[in-house]
Amino acid sequence: MPKKIEPKSSPRNTIANWMVIAPLKYMGLTVALVAGSLVLTRLLSLLFAKPNLIVAIVGLLTYAFAIVFPIVRMPRWTPTDPLDRRSFVALDFLTTLIPYVMIGLPWMLILAYGIPKSAISLLIATAMGASPVIGVLVIIAYLYFMGLCIQNIIATFRAGVAMGVSRARLAWSIPFGISLMWGPRFFLDDRTKPVLPIKSGWYGRLVNWIIAKPMNATLVFVLYTVIGYLVTGILVTAISLLMFLIFLMFLAVQREKFMKKIGGGFAIMGIIVNFALLAMWLIFLYSTIANYAAARHNAAPGNVQLEQVTSDR
């Protein structure tokens, strides 16, 4: 008689799995795949005496795989339970403020010493080149930061499922439009039993305080907005405020029926916003690459001499 194949169990729904174990797996897999991509590209470059298009294509594809595959694997390393309001607020608070602190504190310290913003990237590159330890620490911090950002998206996805939005519509709203689900899960109460166990310590009391009154949640939202503006700038803050205003408009129109209809027009709006922001991001990326290529072309020695001759005439 063939053995019955049981489905793989989901990871336990604990803060440690969300905040430590899954990000560490993401870091380890990313480092291993990127290192493998670099080694493969180096071996191919040694195999071909001259620069070859095949080497460039293989290197680009393997590097892209090394970056994308760990992100795709992240949901398998996180608990699959739909997130109630208390559980979502507990995770969102950590996955939002910790990245802000990781970026904000070094940024403020650098600016406090009077270092111009334009020199920060050069300073980091110089420090990483001067000390391998600093380089490793910067890479670890960056990958952990990225892991927490991905976890925030996954938590918002799980919260959307708990509110009754179809997984397909939530998937089509990733990566930008999914944040439209943040407002209803963070502000609107539910009577669902929490799936994420939080001990009755200071953090449990903090989460209970946030969800106790709408004013408390509003104060946390203001805190998010202020810190987000200081760390990420006006553009990201404006997009976050736009998402929140869309939520308030739908809530004002539908009122008591909002949660019952959240999987309809509101979820579709998340998809529309997602594709609009993706288009804007692609236009910005294309413009940046084009400007960089033009600057490299103009800085080439032959082009500089030709410009000098033309100007002398």
What are the structure tokens assigned to 293, written together?
């290529």
**Which pLDDT value is given to residue 91?**
94
In this predicted structure, the answer to whether residue 117 has a pLDDT above a threshold of 90 is no
In the structure, what pLDDT confidence band is assigned to residue 19 with cuts at 50, 70 and 90?
very high
Cβ neighbours for 244, distance < 8 A, ≥ 6 positions apart:
182, 183, 221
- Report the predicted TM-score, pTM, of the whole model to 2 decimal places: 0.84
In this predicted structure, the answer to whether residue 268 has a pLDDT above a threshold of 80 is yes
In this predicted structure, the answer to whether residue 186 has a pLDDT above a threshold of 90 is yes
Distances (CA, A) of 41 to 44, 51, 58: 5, 11, 7
In the structure, what pLDDT confidence band is assigned to residue 2 with cuts at 50, 70 and 90?
very low
Cβ neighbours for 27, distance < 8 A, ≥ 6 positions apart:
140, 143, 144, 147
What angle in degrees, to the nearest 10, is found between the helix axes of 120-130 and 85-112? 90
In the structure, what pLDDT confidence band is assigned to residue 208 with cuts at 50, 70 and 90?
very high
% helix, strand, coil for the chain, step of 5: 80, 0, 20
**Per-residue model confidence as pLDDT tens digits over 56-90:** 888 889 999 999 999 999 999 999 899 999 999 99
Neighbours of 44 (CB within 10 A): 16
SS3 readout for 220-269: HHHHHHHHHHHHHCHHHHHHHHHHHHHHHHHHHHHHHHCCCCHHHHHHHH
Contact 180, 269 (CB under 8 A): yes
Q: Where are the domains of the chain?
A: 13-79, 81-292
